[in-house]
A and B are shown apart, each in its own frame.
Chain A
Amino acid sequence: MAAQNLQSVPAELFPDEEGQANFDRVIAQDSRIEPKDWMPAAYRKTLLRQISQHAHSEIIGMQPEANWISRAPSLKRKAILMAKVQDEAGHGLYLYSAAETLGQTRDKMMEDLIAGKARYSSIFNYPALTWADMGAIGWLVDGAAICNQVPLCRASYGPYGRAMVRICKEESFHQRQGFEILLELSNGTPAQKQMAQDAVNRWYAPALMMFGPPDDDSPNSKQSMAWNIKRFSNDELRSRFVGMMVEQVRVLGLTLPDDQVRYNEDTRKWEHGPLDWHEFQEVLAGRGPCNAQRLERRREAHDDGAWVREAAAAYADKQRAKQSMKTKEYAA
């Protein structure tokens, strides 16, 4: 694609000392690093990993919801769901673009994803089994994503922070639609209410684990916080999220599948029951319920579309060649 134009100025054009000093100053001032600024290789690598993983999560995350577009139980819900999954494709596009400013092409990132070399949020390796999962994913999964992502709007890397502003606006809309689905089900027939509770029960713990491992087991967090990429620790964000859910689940007339949720007056933090970190590691390592299915679906779409992308590229080349022939004729 056009990534070669977007590549940052190679670090060696700048004397490292001057570049480093500028970088340190920008970070100390809590200001923004832009694509052409010198940045430490580790900062670039961390960001590239995080932004591409985030992009992959949006793209893989389309699948569990796309699974219900054809069966949405009303036309209005169908329209909302289509628009939501479409937004996710849009988020993927912004994020891949932000990652491209760090010198990686979208094609390469997509290859890595399909080859199983890149990670994405492990939450999307759980199956969306009923319509109520559309509610629970919106409310819990998008809700957790918002808690994670709102602070990222202030991330020190400009293109990432700016992409997050728009994404967060849409995510908050997504969360409200998920809440609304659950509210409608909860106030519906007994079967509908049961469906809603079952979905909340299944998505609650995986949603809490979206914030990542506990702080004492999260090796990269400290450096990311020092670089103003990450602003709050995993446990801090998880606790805030639990606090929000406790309030909202009452309005829904449902319960959280966790009898150990409480507000700790001493630490002034919300606490929750134990999470199955072994399961988290298993899913992350590729042994979750849908890992193989999700990757295969992405691979299939990519492979089936190869001839289309080749055709578009060939056509564009031919058009360019025609154009330059014309220009030459004029010149002659």
Chain B
Amino acid sequence: MSAPETSTEAAGHGDISTGVAAPTGSGDSNASATRITPGNALRPEDIALEVRTGLAKPTEDVAEYALRLGDDALILAQRLGHWISRAPELEEDVALGNIALDQLGHARSFLSYAGGAMSNEDGTAKSEDDLAYFRREHEFRSVQLFEQPNGDFAVTIARQFIVSYYQFELYRRLTESTDETLAAIAAKAVKEVDYHRDHSAQWILRLAGGTDESRTRMIHGLRLMWPYVNELFQDDDLTQRLAEAGAAVAPSSLREDFDRLTGEILTEAGLEVPDVPPAPGGGRRGRHSEHLGYLLAEMQVLAREHPGASW
């Protein structure tokens, strides 16, 4: 399912998750710093190719599920990308940019795969860009947490903290999906999301234990985001069918680990789980908060000015 592994390609590429050089060679000056070892992970382009050539074909249910996860990651990437050149410290421009890039990569993979079961008017499979740029607000399937505005740095960290602990539990289990493509995307994503967990947990501790102001802001950030936690763990007919088939994970089954692990960090930070009423959600059915429309208007404007153009 991934690019064929050849000895020349493998040489010099390290495993990006550990930063360790590949055992087969070192010092390859042509080695890419951003591409991880072929065979260990697949790129969105690999998935798009498999979809085009018919090697990978999701069922309608799997496609809908992939669309949900792809939309989550895409909307978050769009939010996080705004921090680049605006972060509190240069190191955070790099870190938040990295997380945004990881999320965008996951989104591209999920959307490329989802498009395999959805066709354009001319009968071709929908591409990642067809799905990202030419759907309307109510056609997006992301849950509402992801579209919440960045706020200050503490709000962004609160959102990221929830997201990364949720995504880690989700992707960890999805690596065992009976759908090989979902499993492969999850296998790549889970390693990256593990770093996102570390990044957000460290900041929760720093902001909660830093100054009075940072603690107040951190508590406020968590209170703002926590109403959207519930929606992450809601089951519906689709997830139930897919979970029974072994292709996906019932969202509700992630809740216990999420609560335990986020609880450990919050306890260490001397914080409490915010006591706030949950929002009803509805993103999986296309019901969004007021924020998504603006985000999409900005994201889609140029592509829509030039329909059919290639970039």
Contact = CB atoms under 8 A, between A and B. Distances in A.
B213 A311 contact: yes
Contact of A310 (B107, B108, B111, B211): B211
B214 A308 contact: yes
Contact of B211 (A77, A184, A188, A314): A314
Interface of A: 59, 62-63, 66, 69-79, 82-83, 85-86, 89-90, 92-93, 96, 131, 181, 184-185, 188-189, 191-192, 297, 300-301, 304-315, 318
B55 interface: no
Interface of B: 34, 44, 74, 77-78, 81-82, 84-94, 97-98, 100-101, 104-105, 107-108, 111, 128-129, 132-133, 152-153, 205-207, 209-211, 213-214, 217, 298-299, 301-303, 306, 309-311
Given A73-B306, A79-B108, A86-B94, A309 B89 contact: yes
Q: Which 5 A-B pairs have the closest CB atoms?
A: A305-B88, A311-B210, A311-B214, A308-B88, A86-B97
A92 B209 contact: no
Contact of B303 (A74, A85, A188, A311): A74
A304 B88 contact: yes
Nearest to B210: A311
Given A63-B85, A76-B108, A315-B206, A70 B213 contact: no
Contact of B93 (A76, A89, A181, A306): A89
A71 B84 contact: no
Contact of A82 (B87, B100, B107, B128): B100
Contacts of B310: 184, 188
A97 to B, nearest CB: 11
Contacts of A71: 298-299, 301-302
Contacts of A76: 44, 108, 311
Given A189-B309, A310-B211, A315-B210, A85 B88 contact: no
Contact of B84 (A77, A89, A131): A89
B153 A308 contact: yes
28 contacts: A62-B84, A66-B86, A69-B82, A69-B84, A70-B78, A70-B81, A73-B133, A73-B302, A74-B129, A74-B133, A74-B311, A75-B132, A76-B108, A76-B311, A78-B104, A82-B81, A83-B34, A83-B101, A85-B85, A86-B84, A93-B91, A131-B311, A184-B310, A184-B311, A185-B311, A306-B88, A310-B213, A314-B211
Contacts of A69: 81-82, 84
Contacts of B44: 75-76
Contacts, number: 147
B309 A192 contact: yes
B213 A86 contact: no
A72 B77 CA distance: 13
Q: Is the interface of B mostly helix, strand, loop or mixed?
A: helix
A90 to B, nearest CB: 6
Q: Is the interface of A mostly helix, strand, loop or mixed?
A: helix
B47 to A, nearest CB: 13
Contact of B217 (A62, A85, A307): A307
Contacts of A181: 311
B311 A297 contact: no
Contacts of A66: 84-86
Nearest to A318: B209
Contacts of A184: 310-311
A141 B152 CA distance: 33
Given A74-B129, A74-B311, A315-B210, 5 more contacts: A189-B306, A304-B88, A304-B153, A305-B92, A313-B210
A52 B85 CA distance: 18
Contacts of A72: 302
Nearest to B131: A75
Given A71-B298, A89-B93, A82 B84 contact: yes
Contacts of A89: 84-85, 90, 93-94, 97
B301 A309 contact: no
A71 B98 CA distance: 18
Contacts of B104: 75, 78-79, 82
A78 B311 CA distance: 11
B190 to A, nearest CB: 19
B88 A79 contact: no
A93 B311 contact: no
Contacts of B77: 78
A29 B303 CA distance: 56
Point out which of B90, B100, B105 has the most chain A C-beta atoms below 10 A from its C-beta: B90
A107 to B, nearest CB: 11
A190 B84 CA distance: 32
A50 to B, nearest CB: 19
Given A301-B87, A304-B88, A75 B108 contact: yes
Point out which of B78, B93, B298 has the most chain A C-beta atoms below 10 A from its C-beta: B93
A93 B94 contact: yes
Contact of B90 (A59, A70, A73, A79): A59
Contacts of B90: 59, 89, 92-93, 96
B210 A75 contact: no
Contacts of A77: 311
